[in-house]
Amino acid sequence: MSQPPPADPAAWWSEIAAGVLVRRHRELDLSTGLIIGSRSCLVVDTCGDHRQGTALAAAIRERTSLPWIVVYTHAHFDHCFGTEPFLPCPVWAHAGLPAVLTATASRQRDEWAARYREQGRPDLADDLAASSAVPPDHTVGERVELDLGGRTAVLEHLGRGHTDHDLIVSVPDVDVVFTGDLIEQGAPPAVEDSFPREWADLATALARRGTAGTRFVPGHGHPVDTAFVRTQAAGLRTLVEQAEALGGVSDASGEEPTHPFGAAVVRAAAARLA
């Protein structure tokens, strides 16, 4: 059953289906996942630093003593820099992730540590600076099925979207899909590393997969239904249209582009289309 958040929680569980739990984190409004089988459990993303990862591992151990497997939805630090406390264990990701993680881990660490210091949060900056980016030791091309014992978790790469190496994690027996940051609830999609045209198509394909009962778990925010995914796909299509049309309009007229995701997101998407 869902556990209601305490008065000022750092994180709390919500059980959205039998043996499928979402861990909601106040920091960055992150959502991680736990899928429990009869022989093993699958951890979907590990938070953004070693201290957060340690807390997540401890919370999981309160739920199950089964051996765990980790999967990364993508290489952004808040989804994969908390893995060290889980080792040794198998770590899965898309085949394109290792190169991206190698190329960007130091920059992500430095940029976000500096941001946390600017926000007056030196503890988070120090924790991030002391955290390692653990590369996967198992990779997915297009699709892999993991037998957790009495339950299968399906890891799939549907194409480029939020990044070029996104994975979704489906639990077919309970109609749950962990989307990573391909879907976001509560904040606009982050487009800085994205492929906006393909992302709009991918989100549309995700919505078409959904049924009236499907629960989608975004990388940030609370679980959503198929209608929400359909709406976000439409928003991404409109975002692409506005980004394509932006070319110099705001410079010439002094007007900001208008979109539910915000003018800054439109400009960032335009830069990705350039």
Helix 50-61 and helix 122-129, axial crossing angle in degrees, nearest 10: 90
The residue written with tokens 């938070």 in the block is 47
Instruction: Kindly give the pairing relationship between strand 20-25 and strand 152-156.
Output: unpaired
CB 16 within 8 A of CB 27: no
Confidence of residue 263 (pLDDT cuts 50, 70, 90): confident
Four-CA torsion 112, 117, 120, 122, nearest 10 degrees: 100
Per-residue model confidence as pLDDT tens digits over 148-197: 999 999 999 999 999 999 999 999 999 999 999 999 999 999 999 999 99
Structural domains of the chain, with CATH: 11-273 (3.60.15.10)
Query: Which tokens sit at 117?
Result: 């210091």
Three-class secondary structure of residue 23 per DSSP: strand
Confidence of residue 2 (pLDDT cuts 50, 70, 90): very low
- The percent of residues above 70 in pLDDT, for the chain, comes to 93
Reading phi first (left if > 0) and then psi (alpha if -120 to 50, else beta), residue 129 is in alpha
Q: Which of 214, 225, 102, 238 is nearest to 165 (CA)?
A: 102
pLDDT above 60 for 251: no
Three-class secondary structure of residue 161 per DSSP: coil
Confidence of residue 109 (pLDDT cuts 50, 70, 90): very high
Q: Which of 140, 116, 142, 139 is nearest to 127 (CA)?
A: 116
**The pLDDT value given to residue 107:** 98
CB 166 within 8 A of CB 158: yes
